[in-house]
Amino acid sequence: MINKLVANIKKTNAPIVVGLDPMLDYVPDQVKAKAFAECGETLEGAAEAIWQFNKEIVDKTYDLIPAVKPQIAMYEQFGIPGLMAFKKTVDYCKEKGLVVIGDIKRGDIGSTSVAYAVGHIGKVKVGEKSYAPFDEDFVTVNPYLGSDGINPFIDVCKEEKKGLFILVKTSNPSSGEFQDLLVDGRPLYELVGEKVAQWGEDCMGDEYSYIGAVVGATYPEMGKVLRKIMPKSYILVPAYGAQGGRGKDLVHFFNEDGLGAIVNSSRGIITAYKQEKYARFGAEHFGDASRAAVEDMIADISQALN
């Protein structure tokens, strides 16, 4: 799957990910009204509304982008109907040729990680048959439990040709509370980065490893160091846009070949129609507003890289 991600990035010339993180408040009234009329003002109605919202954004942007990143929390808040909307979103994006990164941030003791890995990127056996329950292409994983929490995900990746993005330095303000602590004089995130590089060594695609890392756009200096520590790992860079990341902060997350990083924006794209800059589109044309925001993001990053 890393080869498909790299191929999609080269084809679109856009190292970006659209984050499909639908809160109900982001969904325009006309979409909600239709969904509630069909399914009731219920969890089912909310799930239908977020699915229709996602579909319009995907329809309006899929030709410009290589990948999407649905954040599972936004779907889980609507219970089982929400998870069904998550699955529909994953399947639809794959039909459109997009690589799907499930932002699930899982990781547990080994036996439990096996179940997470099988459920999200692998296959589960039921009687004589095997099923791929969620079937994302990549998932995000939390390394706090160490190798035995990560190895089951790596094993499934090897079998299924899928991939991981392991949290190394997260974008949030308090990420340093633990991640920056010095261990033998070195920040913990660097040691985790070294481990990601090591895990990735025998998981190579054609050019890059399918074991990647998450490093927030809000920490460009750390991104620069981590880029060197993990030369063959793709870096998923969240926090562009709504959290303050800009193209000019991102240059050092990339390798000399212009590859190696993929930048996510969620609210910046999916709520574009609410932003002054794109207000001309109005709520009726929210998909077109998202498309304009994607075009601007691509231009901003290209300008910074060239």
Binding mask 261-280 for ligand LLZGTKA7 (x = CB under 6 A): ---xxxxx------------
The stretch near ligand LLZGTKA7 (CB under 6 A) out of 59-67, 142-150, 202-210, 235-243 is: 235-243
DSSP 245: B
Nearer to ligand LLZGTKA7, 44 or 98 (CB): 98
For the chain, the residue count is 306
Q: Which of residues 11-30 bind ligand LLZGTKA7 (CB under 6 A)?
A: 19, 21
Among 37, 32, 78, 31, which Cα is nearest to 56's?
Answer: 31
Q: Is 11 a catalytic residue?
A: no
Amino acid at 14: A
* Contact between 89 and ligand LLZGTKA7 per CB under 6 A: no
Cα Rg, the chain, nearest whole Å: 19
CB 273 within 8 A of CB 60: no
Among 119, 152, 200, 238, binds ligand LLZGTKA7 (CB under 6 A): 238
Active-site residue, selected from the candidate residues 94, 105, 123, 161: 105
* Alpha-carbon separation of residue 114 from 119, 130, 146, 275 (angstroms): 8, 15, 14, 42
Q: Does the footprint of ligand LLZGTKA7 cover residue 149 (CB under 6 A)?
A: no
> For residues 52-81, which are near ligand LLZGTKA7 according to CB under 6 A?
71
Closer Cβ to ligand LLZGTKA7, 44 or 90, answer by number: 90
Distance CA 58, CA 67 (A): 10
Cβ–Cβ under 8 Å, residues 240 and 248:
no
Which has the closest alpha carbon to 138: 239, 10, 238, 1?
1
Q: Verify binding: residue 293, ligand LLZGTKA7, rule CB under 6 A.
A: no
Interface of this chain with ligand LLZGTKA7, residues 100 to 119, rule: CB under 6 A: 103
Q: Which secondary structure element, helix H or strand E, spans residue 69, and what is its range?
A: strand 67-70
Residues lying near ligand LLZGTKA7 in the complex (CB under 6 A) are found at 19, 21, 71, 103, 170-171, 214, 216, 238-239, 241-243, 264-268
